[in-house]
Structure 1
């Protein structure tokens, strides 16, 4: 069972907005915004910060895919796209813009619940992968700084690689700092002494 979600919906048809506002609470969710076009959806998401967006594709002012793209740039929020028909161009655009599920009208409660579950599950997986990638990238950057600081210590003190690394570790421990912080301080200090060089 999926947790209760704060959901923003958008559709230019009042009947569809009313349908979502009636059916989503039955599934245990809260509708925090009901927009009639893409621009309204963007404003509503800024104000309400929903957990999920369910939006129609074709709407006046701005379509649902463009609105989803702009919202995602500011805050990653999973999107379920709704359309009266599915054509190749819409599906292609949807794939490029963080859309995690696609429903064709008329939408039944039996379709909505699994789409929400799949969209949220995929979103959580993507977020975990994104964090893991960012962590790995940061670890690599940290490693490069530590290696540069170790090389500098070897050059300045004549220590071997192992001893230079042990000195970095000791400095980090003595000053209750992370190894990368000590490496950065050493590299910064070296730059300060080489300003006129």
Structure 2
């Protein structure tokens, strides 16, 4: 199993130290620490962690705002820590696509499952995003094939089935993918 790279961001040095010890004792790699939202953003860019454990209330920029910015360039999981459990804060965290939320003081028996769940959600989201990209590519390819068929139907005054059959035959005889052939037909028209 891959060793998770974790960034800890909290304005309290003792909290960062406690978290780092808990994490390293349990086999996680702490790749960096920060004390505010701006440092979280900067370190997330440079260190590319798998997970950020971040306090909500910090100077300069809070954890929810920092997480929103980080979501713009990273798909790392984010676990928020706070001494507060206000409903409004929970709603803000959901809008920022936070993966997990723990109320301080953090106990190891709560932290470790939250990390695993947050990371699992991250992996599921990555898998889903990859599937969406593949489906989008298939749709684009299909559109090109349909366009090429339309061009051949006009040029040869033939049916859709005949145009497609001709494309398939040419694709196989030239050992070329159907999409490459479609792109050539579109390009020359």
User: Which residues of 2 match residues 53-68 of structure 1 at below 5 A?
Assistant: 53-68=52-67
Deviation at 1:161, TM superposition (A): 1.9
Deviation at 1:170, TM superposition (A): 3.0
Contact 2:75 2:122 (C-alpha < 8 Å) held by counterparts: no
Moved more, 22-31 or 157-166: 157-166
Separation in structure 2 between the aligned mates of residue 65 and residue 163 of structure 1, nearest angstrom: 57
Deviation at 1:137, TM superposition (A): 2.2
Contact 1:33 1:45 (C-alpha < 8 Å) held by counterparts: no
User: Which residues of 2 match residues 7-156 of structure 1 at below 5 A?
Assistant: 7-156=6-155
Question: 1:34-57: per-residue Cα shift (whole Å, max 9, x none)?
Answer: 100010111111111111111001
Count of residue correspondences: 189
Question: 1:74-121: per-residue Cα shift (whole Å, max 9, x none)?
Answer: 121110011101111211111111211100000011011100111111
Separation in structure 2 between the aligned mates of residue 103 and residue 171 of structure 1, nearest angstrom: 60
Moved more, 40-49 or 136-145: 136-145
Moved more, 151-160 or 166-175: 166-175
Separation in structure 2 between the aligned mates of residue 13 and residue 176 of structure 1, nearest angstrom: 64
Distance 1:175 1:61, change over 3 A: farther
Which position in structure 2 is the counterpart of 1:4? 3
Separation in structure 1 between the aligned mates of residue 46 and residue 87 of structure 2, nearest angstrom: 33
Gapped runs of 5+ residues in structure 2? none
Separation in structure 2 between the aligned mates of residue 181 and residue 75 of structure 1, nearest angstrom: 33
SS in structure 1 opposite 2:57? coil
Gapped runs of 5+ residues in structure 1? 191-197
Report the TM-score when normalising by structure 2: 0.93
Deviation at 1:189, TM superposition (A): 1.3
